[in-house]
Amino acid sequence: MALIPADKLESLTKALGNDFTFNDLGLVMQLCFGEPRINGVSSDRREPWTIARDCLEETERHGMTRIFLGHVLASARSGEVLRGLIVRLVPELAAAPQSVATNVGVVVAQLQRTHGALADAGIRETVRQSRAVIEDIAVSVAALEVYKNLHDSLHNLQLRNFSTLFTAAKHVKDGADDGGVLRQFVDDVRKTGVDSRPVAQRLARDDELRAATELKWIDRLEAAARDLRGAIDKEDSDRARVALNMVRRVVEQEPSRLNSQIFLIARDLQLAQLEDALKRVESVQGGSGIGGASSSLQALKWALLARVVEHTRWQEADDGLWAVDRSFEYGNDRAIDDFTLDWPNTRSLIRTLTDAEPKAELSLGLASAAENIDQELFAVAARTDAAAGQAVAGRRLFGLYDGYRRDARFRFYLVDRALKDECRELVALGTPLQSILTELQNA
């Protein structure tokens, strides 16, 4: 059944088209469906109102309109007219959404009540029929926390400026390590390995192959730290650069793979099946107290998926930053040309992400920094200086980009931290689920 009445569709699509661009709506659609969707339903060549209508029709076909409008309402891009239309159409969206902690608390309380009722043979048998679902969620929630913690450990290394590290490595042969930058980095890498190993080993409780996969890159990190320490002690610049490359390959490749694991677990988390199981228990009990837990489970599923999608998009942006970073490693004769090729796509993706909060301080700062970089590129293209001029231009461009990169990665760090906090809250579901499984096993 359509959520939007026919006589309201035109005004809603016009307001939506006025406030949201094709890319904005693409992000909202991905938040809803957990995957890129807009290119399959519309085109950036169409009028904004037509694009908005295409998106609304797609969400109506899949019963996702309420979720779609919730994300639209939560966006800073929504103007007063659009917000008013949405609230009149779905009044409950006007209320501030409950936090993940609150929703988890409601579900935990319902699971605890279910556990307390397992002495009843009818309820126990009803719950037993959903044992596979309960086991899957318990394992998945635990794995989600592990993968998020591993991702965070590598993200901390990603924040380091590898160009500075490679410059320091060149001078190792002279016995120099300005400010101890390389030795400090060795300590950071070693700490990452030490902290990550027991986290990865937790996966072995349910899946030894998963644990082995993570332990491989941890082994590589620790080996690289040993090699880098040895290179510094022996003043071997070539060996130091090889060791840094080993670390960089890990921090370039593994976060994207870990993010994919986080996304897949969040997407496939069987919260809807758990909701059905609790409803069956409630029907056996003859009560109707499941309403709060049912709403909370639905809210958890979509809030978690939206957060993971946001994290995924920022991971894509961070991958783009790594590609741009390499522009400055080949010397001034190639730096500007390579930067000009890689910069536009990364800038565009980050702008789409920050446009969700256009008035936030970091968003304004990134927009201003991107404009300064574009102006510098324009000025460089207009110059006819000799190589010396190019060298100065390259250094100026790198300085501008370095500030932009640091701010963008800090914004990703904030998204990272928010997802980590929500994963930590979600882990609370594991305790009552395990209690139910233990009771079923002992019955």
Residue 112, domain member (yes or no): no
Question: Mean pLDDT over residues 332-351, rounded?
Answer: 85
- Assign 3-state DSSP to the chain and report helix, strand, coil percentages, each to 5: 85, 0, 15
Give the pair of three-digit tokens for residue 379: 């000025």
State yes or no: pLDDT of 394 exceeds 80.
no
pLDDT score of 389 more than 60:
no
- The rounded mean pLDDT for the chain is 88
Whether 210 maps to a domain, the answer reads yes
Residue 118 has pLDDT above 60, yes or no: yes
End-to-end CA distance of the chain: 44
pLDDT of residue 197: 97
Query: Do 48 and 145 fall within a single domain?
Result: no
- Asked, for residue 281, whether it belongs to a domain, the answer is yes
The pLDDT tens digits of the residues spanning 124-180 come to 999 999 999 999 999 999 999 999 999 999 988 888 888 888 888 988 888 776 668
In-domain check, residue 124: no
Based on the domain organization, do 29 and 141 belong to the same domain?
no
Q: Are residues 74 and 169 in the same domain?
A: no
Q: What is the pLDDT of residues 42-91, one digit of tens each?
A: 999 999 999 999 999 999 999 889 889 988 988 888 899 999 999 999 88
Q: Pick the range with the lowest mean pLDDT from 134-148, 170-184, 188-202, 301-315.
A: 170-184
Nearest-angstrom CA–CA distance, 384 and 331:
18
333 confidence band (pLDDT: 50, 70, 90): low
pLDDT at 26 over 70: yes
Q: What is the mean pLDDT of residues 205-215?
A: 92
- 366 lies in the same domain as 231: yes
Output the pTM of the full model: 0.81
Q: Given this model, what pLDDT does residue 213 score?
A: 95
Q: Write down the pLDDT at residue 11.
A: 95
Question: Looking at per-residue confidence, does 229 or 383 come out higher?
Answer: 229
Q: 188 and 80 share a domain?
A: no
Domain that holds residue 37: 6-94
Regarding whether 198 and 268 lie in a shared domain, the answer is yes
Say yes or no: 151 and 78 in one domain. no
C-alpha–C-alpha distance, residues 108 and 230, integer Å: 51
Q: Are residues 69 and 142 in the same domain?
A: no
Which pLDDT does position 283 carry in this prediction? 83
Q: Are residues 59 and 152 in the same domain?
A: no
Considering the domain architecture, whether residues 145 and 47 belong to the same structural domain is answered as: no
Residue 392's pLDDT band (cuts 50, 70, 90): low
User: Do 147 and 80 belong to one domain?
Assistant: no
Query: Given 94, 121, 153, which residue is the final one in a domain?
Result: 94
**CA separation for the pair 89, 93 (Å, rounded):** 9
* Position 410 in a domain: yes
Residues 10 and 146 placed together within one structural domain of the fold: no
Percent of the chain whose predicted confidence (pLDDT) is above 90: 50
pLDDT at 110 exceeding the cut of 80: yes
- Boundary residue ending a domain (68, 94, 120): 94
What pLDDT sits at residue 96? 66
Q: Compare 243 and 396 and report the one with higher pLDDT.
A: 243
Name the percent of the chain lying above pLDDT 70: 94
Please report, for residues 74, 108, 247, 266, 297, the alpha-carbon distance to residue 274 in angstroms, rounded to integers and kept in the order given: 27, 12, 41, 14, 8
Instruction: Determine, yes or no, domain membership for 162.
Output: yes
In a domain, 158, yes or no: yes
Q: Which of 46-50, 190-194, 277-281, 292-296 comes out lowest in average pLDDT?
A: 292-296
Number of structural domains, the chain?
2
Out of 94, 118, 141, a domain closes at 94
